[in-house]
Amino acid sequence: MGSLLEELARRQAEARQRIEELGRHLAEVQARLEAEEEGLSRLLIASEVVEEILSGQGRGAADPVVGSEDAGSADAGQNGLGSEAGVVRRGVVTVPPWRADLEPSVLPRAYRDVLEVLADTGRAMRAGKISAALGRGESAAAVEGLRGKLRRLVERGWLRQDEPGLFALTEPVARQITR
């Protein structure tokens, strides 16, 4: 009887060792997966920015251009971003940080659409469901492109992320939209 119990104990120890090894391997794969997802997200965002630039979007009141083509203009000197030695500096802010005096109308259309979807549902949603509600589908490319926008809205105070992957309007923005 003793050898049977010893064999069971040995097999249990081996199983635990395999489980620990698989857990370490899983953690490594998960870290690699997250790094690849982040890289894909950055590439999708870069593609969207290039498409916006090439299509001429981002030139309205919602996307203020800082600086001036005219090196001698008063505005260029006043904001500190004018030209120096003939070099013109420009910057485009597509998603300004949220402030009480800003309306969602300052955001580009794609970002306003996200806010509207979240306002309509009145609850937190995952990127895939938001993408589907926007009519973009739930493909990996569509969701990853949207996820970049959602993160930007979180960073700038328009949205909150209650738990990983779950996005909702911040209270002030929700009040602003529902009035």
Note whether 136 and 173 are same-domain residues: yes
Q: How far is CA 133 from the centre of its chain?
A: 17
Note whether 105 and 164 are same-domain residues: yes
Domain that holds residue 151: 95-178
Note whether 23 and 87 are same-domain residues: no
Q: What percent of the chain has pLDDT over 90?
A: 38
Bridge-based pairing state of the strands 166-169 and 125-126: antiparallel
Note whether 150 and 101 are same-domain residues: yes
Secondary structure E strands in the chain: 65-66, 91-92, 125-126, 159-163, 166-169
166: CATH: 1.10.10.10
Gap between the Cα atoms of 86 and 82, Å rounded: 9
Q: How many domains does the chain have?
A: 3
Note whether 37 and 88 are same-domain residues: no
Note whether 134 and 123 are same-domain residues: yes
User: What pTM value is reported for the model?
Assistant: 0.50
Question: Cβ distance 148 to 44 under 8 Å?
Answer: yes
pLDDT digits (tens, 9 = 90+) for 26-62: 878 877 877 787 788 788 888 888 887 887 755 444 4
Note whether 73 and 109 are same-domain residues: no
Note whether 77 and 122 are same-domain residues: no
**Dihedral sign, CA of 103, 104, 107, 108?**
negative
Note whether 9 and 20 are same-domain residues: yes
- Structural domain ending residue among the three candidates 11, 32, 58: 58
Which residues does residue 168 pair with via DSSP β-bridges, in sequence order? 160
Note whether 104 and 166 are same-domain residues: yes
Note whether 164 and 146 are same-domain residues: yes
pLDDT digits (tens, 9 = 90+) for 84-111: 444 444 455 578 899 998 889 888 898 9
Q: Which of 156, 160, 172 is nearest to 96 (CA)?
A: 156
pLDDT at 80: 37
Residues in the chain: 179
- Cα end-to-end distance, the chain, whole Å: 77
pLDDT at 89: 41
Note whether 50 and 1 are same-domain residues: yes
- The pLDDT of 119-135, averaged and rounded, is 94
